[in-house]
Amino acid sequence: MMLRMEPPAEHRMESIFVASPPMRLPDPPASPAETETADLLRQLIELQREHLAIAKAARDQPDEQSKWQSFFDRHAGDFPGLIESCREVLPQIERAYLSLARDAAEHLLDRDDALSSDFGLSDFLDRFAPRLAQLGQTMGQVGHLAGLAPKDAS
């Protein structure tokens, strides 16, 4: 029989487990492509917010044509046939405006120095500016009226 002898306590080996504390590694830096993509997405979101604000503002503003329609509807009984008359004469006003604009352009093309002096500039403006401005205004006003719907059609 074999006797087992225990070594003295000072010679006994005990197992010691040593472990380092858990360590979190830093996240790898974002690649330039990821950073650029994120920046572009932020810019797109901001742009969409601006577009939404503009769309809301436009929605809340009454449009010009509805103002003219309201104006005409208040007085339609006093001016029968006005819309149809405006539709008929609008092409004549447009042709007159374009003809005058062509004349002004040809005047400048024929005279290289037409605007180089105070006299030339004054002559050009006196000859063309008032009529161009007045025809442009007339064309806009008559055009608004020509674009309206008659009261019985609305």
CB 64 within 8 A of CB 144: yes
Question: Considering the domain boundaries, does residue 147 fall inside one?
Answer: yes
Specify the pLDDT at position 3.
63
Q: How many other C-beta atoms lie within 10 A of the C-beta of residue 103?
A: 14
The three state secondary structure string of 58-74 is HHHCCCHHHHHHHHHHH
The reply to whether 22 falls in a domain is no
**Is residue 79 in a domain?**
yes
Residue 137 domain flag: yes
| Position 89 in a domain | yes
pLDDT band at 35 (very low <50, low <70, confident <90, very high): confident
In this predicted structure, the answer to whether residue 141 has a pLDDT above a threshold of 70 is yes
User: Is 94 inside any structural domain?
Assistant: yes
| Number of domains comprising the chain | 1
Count other Cβ atoms within 10 Å, centred on residue 93.
19
Does 1 or 6 have the greater pLDDT score?
6
Asked whether residue 104 is domain-assigned, the answer is yes
- Six-digit token pair at 126? 């006196």
The span from the CA of 149 to the CA of 152, in Å, is: 8
pTM summary value: 0.55
More confident residue, 40 or 7: 40
On whether residue 52 sits in a domain, the answer given is: no
- Digit-coded pLDDT (tens) for 94-114: 999 999 999 999 999 998 888
How many percent of the chain have pLDDT more than 70? 84
The whole domain housing 106 covers 64-153
Distance in angstroms (rounded) separating the CA atoms of residues 73 and 80:
11
The three-class DSSP label of residue 15 is coil
